[in-house]
Amino acid sequence: MNFGRAHQGEKTVIASSATSTGGYRKAVDLIAQGAVNVKPLISALVPLDRGIEDGFERMLRPNKNVYRILVGNG
């Protein structure tokens, strides 16, 4: 990871934080019910073990169409 490129390109890295159990359940329920469509918010899905290598590298590419990269297990 070249942090200099990340800094020069003014990239933003946002980490998620814990929420209350009730808030998390409500969000998951809304997504499961189709009330919230999250697909347009996700530019790519990257496996957890490739999050740094693939996720950050995609974010640093000159392509400006990257909105959110979801790093997940599976």
Read off the pLDDT of residues 7-52 as tens digits, 9 standing for 90 and up: 676 667 677 666 777 888 898 899 899 999 988 888 778 888 887 7
Q: What is the pTM of this model?
A: 0.43
Q: Residue 17 corresponds to which tokens in the numbers above?
A: 């934080």
Beta bridge partners of 69: 44
- pLDDT of residue 60 exceeding 80, the answer is no
The domain locations on the chain are 1-9+38-74
* Chain centre distance of CA 20: 20
